């Protein structure tokens, strides 16, 4: 969700990237944490993510990203809790089998940082969100492909998406996006 974001080296031209998610080597992640009864943080991740992005270091504003998340792949390292989170009490994955992000604007902030704005859809509700992302690295790998990585953190109020956590509705997303140039 951030990938089409940062200032890459000038040698890189417009290129399309597949997010290294579930169908590849899983070098991308959508992790999260939420307040647990005011005592600590509950941590988890979504194990099934996919998507693509286009990045042009010479024209960052023309870049874009699209990410799809399977909410049924939620994993908090506790199967009983995960089943409950998939239920109609929370994510209602039977009714809303997909979540995702589509960028609408990407701006170059300089020094390897970008501002990504777009529509995030969760629980059947789409809202505009904006977050800063940082390019974490890029280059040829020993496997002969070219990759670029980005990281970002953003906070959502899940009540805005029709989900009640019973108290603090703040969910912090931690994103690591690695793309493989096509």
pLDDT of the chain along its 182 residues, tens only?
343 343 334 345 789 999 998 665 689 999 999 999 989 999 999 999 999 999 888 899 999 999 999 999 999 999 999 999 999 999 999 999 999 999 999 999 999 899 999 999 999 999 999 999 999 999 999 989 999 999 999 999 999 999 998 888 999 999 999 999 99
Kindly state whether residue 8 falls inside one of the protein's structural domains. Answer: no
Its pTM stands at: 0.89
Kindly state whether residue 103 falls inside one of the protein's structural domains. Answer: yes
Secondary-structure percent of the chain, ordered helix, strand, coil, rounded to 5:
10, 55, 35
Kindly state whether residue 96 falls inside one of the protein's structural domains. Answer: yes
Any idea what the CATH number is for the domain that residue 104 is in?
A: 2.40.128.110
Domain extent, residue 120, equals: 15-181
Kindly state whether residue 117 falls inside one of the protein's structural domains. Answer: yes
Kindly state whether residue 1 falls inside one of the protein's structural domains. Answer: no
List beta partners, residue 30: 46, 175
Q: What is the dihedral of CA 110, 65, 120, 44, to 10 degrees?
A: -90
Total count of domains within the chain: 1
Kindly state whether residue 38 falls inside one of the protein's structural domains. Answer: yes
What pLDDT sits at residue 131? Answer: 98
If you search the block for the tokens 């793309």, which residue do you land on? Answer: 179
Token pair for residue 156?
């959502």
C-alpha–C-alpha distance, residues 131 and 59, integer Å:
19
Kindly state whether residue 5 falls inside one of the protein's structural domains. Answer: no
What pLDDT sits at residue 165? Answer: 85
Kindly state whether residue 9 falls inside one of the protein's structural domains. Answer: no
């Amino acid at each position: 969700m951030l990938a089409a974001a940062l200032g890459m080296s000038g040698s890189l031209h417009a290129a399309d990237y597949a997010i290294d998610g579930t169908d590849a080597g899983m070098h991308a992640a959508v992790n999260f944490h939420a307040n647990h009864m005011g005592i600590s943080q509950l941590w988890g991740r979504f194990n099934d993510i996919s998507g693509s992005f286009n990045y042009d270091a010479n024209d960052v504003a023309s870049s874009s990203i699209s990410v799809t998340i399977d909410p049924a792949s939620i994993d908090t390292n506790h199967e009983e809790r995960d089943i409950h989170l998939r239920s109609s009490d929370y994510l209602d994955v039977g009714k809303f089998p997909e979540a995702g992000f589509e960028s609408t604007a990407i701006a170059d902030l300089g020094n390897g940082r970008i501002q990504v704005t777009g529509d995030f859809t969760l629980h059947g509700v789409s809202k505009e969100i904006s977050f800063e992302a940082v390019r974490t690295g890029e280059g040829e790998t020993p496997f002969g492909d070219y990759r670029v990585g980005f990281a970002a953190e953003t906070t959502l109020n899940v009540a805005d998406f029709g989900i009640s956590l019973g108290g603090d509705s703040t969910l912090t997303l931690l994103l690591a996006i690695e793309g493989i140039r096509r």
